[in-house]
Amino acid sequence: MKSYSSPKETGGVHNFNAGPSILPKEVFEEASQSVLNYNDTGLSILEIGHRTPVFQSIMDEARALIKELMQLDDDHEVLFLHGGASTQFMQVPMNLLNEKETAAFADTGIWSAKAIKEAKLFGNVDIVCTSKESGYTFIPKDFAVPNDAKYFHITTNNTIYGTQWQKIPNVSIPMVADMSSDILSRQINFNSFDLIYAGAQKNIGAAGVNLVVVNKNILGKVKRAIPTIMDYRNHIKEGSMLNTPPVFAVYVSMLTLRWLKNMGGVSAMEKLNNEKAALLYNEIDNNPLFTGTVAKEDRSKMNVCFTINDKEHEEKFLAFVKQHNIIGIKGHRTAGGFRASLYNALPLTSVQVLVEVMKDFVAKLS
Ligand SMILES: *Cc1c(COP(=O)(O)O)cnc(C)c1O
């Protein structure tokens, strides 16, 4: 197993951005080389036709790596589509939900709420649980999902608030998940979902492509006419090459997936992600100046949200971390406070530096 690049190798900057976000240094190097000359073809990756054997093998490898890393069975198809996760908010109900049918949703944040809004354009929505009243600071526990709903949709990790489903609910109807911000970060039985989608720009690769994993058996059951480009079955039939795919974004994803496999796959990532999150939460809990913002048992290992106890110090702290080349920890504009995103490619050393800086900051004040 390779070791993480040191922050020196990442240009000395500790990048805690929420998305687009840090990717492995090795991926940046190889991708930039390929922009100039892909694999000694004398051509840039940006000028290679998508129907050529060169790109076909990139697409094939990316799809195969997803299948392998997620340990998907033969029913689950892998697609790389345009439009980001936000397009899936409407594409999912368009393909799965008839007008008179109901989809069940857990409302655990802004992204869930946006998925709910789009689903209402296609059928009925039953919000079976919500943590909205508390500012989305926890994952609801006691709720029932009706057996006659068409599917149950969850957002596995709530990027803005820093909550994460630690236990995937066990329901008798098909599960659909937005995994944009924690895909491939921990071991999950991915086959237990009938549809998974994730914008690539948080944990998989460059912005501009969206991963969709779909159980082909749930398709073809709605009555409405689906526009060709929106119908998953057409993309499956064409091997995710129905039209020109986002070539460069797929390529960067493939390189990141290769890196992930070299690192030891999802189980190795989970171990490192647990270590990074434990280190930072431990500091938040023990440093008198900081407070975690969500229920402890629901804390995200990808997006760590916290506040400073004296609002007056907020700007000073941001300036202080900046001096130490820590970037991207200002909280989302709707949530405030701080958010440190610890995606797969973020080295443990960056978290160690952040923790040291938090200690130094409080020491300086006293
Ligand atoms: C970032 C994010 C989205 C939006 O992704 P886009 O690719 O910008 O559409 C949706 N859901 C979650 C959970 C996210 O973190």
Question: For 136-158, what is each residue's pLDDT tens digit?
Answer: 999 999 999 999 999 999 999 99
Q: pLDDT-based confidence at 2, cuts 50/70/90?
A: very low
Question: Of these residues, 107, 178, 194, 298, which one is catalytic?
Answer: 178
Q: For residue 69, which of 317, 344, 362, 334 has the smallest C-alpha distance? A: 344
Q: Domain check: are 118 and 156 in the same one? A: yes
Residue 10 located in a structural domain: no
What's the confidence (pLDDT) of residue 11? 65
Same domain? For 273 and 246 the reply is: no
Per residue in 12-65, pLDDT (tens digit) is 899 999 999 999 999 999 999 999 999 999 999 999 999 999 999 999 999 999
Q: Are residues 170 and 78 in the same domain?
A: yes
Residue with tokens 């082909």: 216
Active-site residue (options: 202, 259, 276, 301): 202
Q: Half-sphere exposure (CA, 13 Å, Cβ side) for 9?
A: 15
pLDDT (0 to 100) of residue 1:
33
Same domain, 97 and 219: yes
* Alpha carbon nearest to ligand 1 atom 2, residue: 180
Residue 241 and residue 127 share a domain: yes
Q: Is 289 within the bounds of a domain?
A: yes
Same domain, 254 and 355: no
**16 belongs to a structural domain:** no
Residue 327 lies in a domain: yes
Domain-terminating residue out of 262, 285, 319: 262
- State which amino acid sits at residue 139: I
Closest Cα to atom 5 of ligand 1: 85
| CB 211 near ligand 1, within 6 Å | no
Does residue 19's CB lie within 6 angstroms of at least one atom of ligand 1?
yes
**What's the pLDDT tens digit per position in 187-207?**
999 999 999 999 999 999 999
Write out the residue range of the structural domain in which residue 339 sits.
266-365
> From the CA of 212, how far away is ligand 1's center (Å)?
13
Same domain, 99 and 247: yes
Q: Please identify, by atom number, the ligand 1 atom nearest to the C-alpha of residue 207.
A: 7
Sort 317 into a burial class: Cβ within 10 Å, 0-12 / 13-18 / 19+: buried
**197 and 313 housed in the same domain:** no
Model confidence at 102: pLDDT above 70? yes
Q: Specify whether 202 is catalytic.
A: yes
CA nearest neighbour of 303 among 272, 328, 268: 328
Return the best residue to mutate from 89, 181, 339 for the ligand 1 pocket (most ligand atoms within 8 A of CB): 181
Look at residue 5 in the predicted model and tell me its pLDDT.
43
**What is the Å distance from ligand 1's center to 262 Cα?**
27
73 and 41 within one domain = yes
pLDDT beyond 60 at 289: yes
Q: What is the pTM of this model?
A: 0.96
Question: Is the per-residue pLDDT at 3 higher than 50?
Answer: no
Let me know if residue 137 belongs to a domain. Answer: yes
Q: Is 172 in the same domain as 109?
A: yes
For tokens 């109901």, the residue is 102
**Known catalytic residue: 111?**
yes
216 and 71 share one domain: yes
234, 262, 290 - which closes a domain:
262
* CA gap 365, 186 in Å, rounded: 38
Looking at the chain, how many residues does it have? 366
**CATH, residue 311:** 3.90.1150.10
Residue-wise pLDDT tens digits, 308-336: 998 889 999 999 999 999 999 999 888 77
In a domain, 9, yes or no: no
Residue 358 has pLDDT above 60, yes or no: yes
Calculate what percentage of the chain has a pLDDT beyond 70.
97
Domain boundary residue among 237, 262, 287? Answer: 262
Both 42 and 174 in one domain: the answer is: yes
pLDDT(6) > 60:
no
Tally the domains of the chain.
2
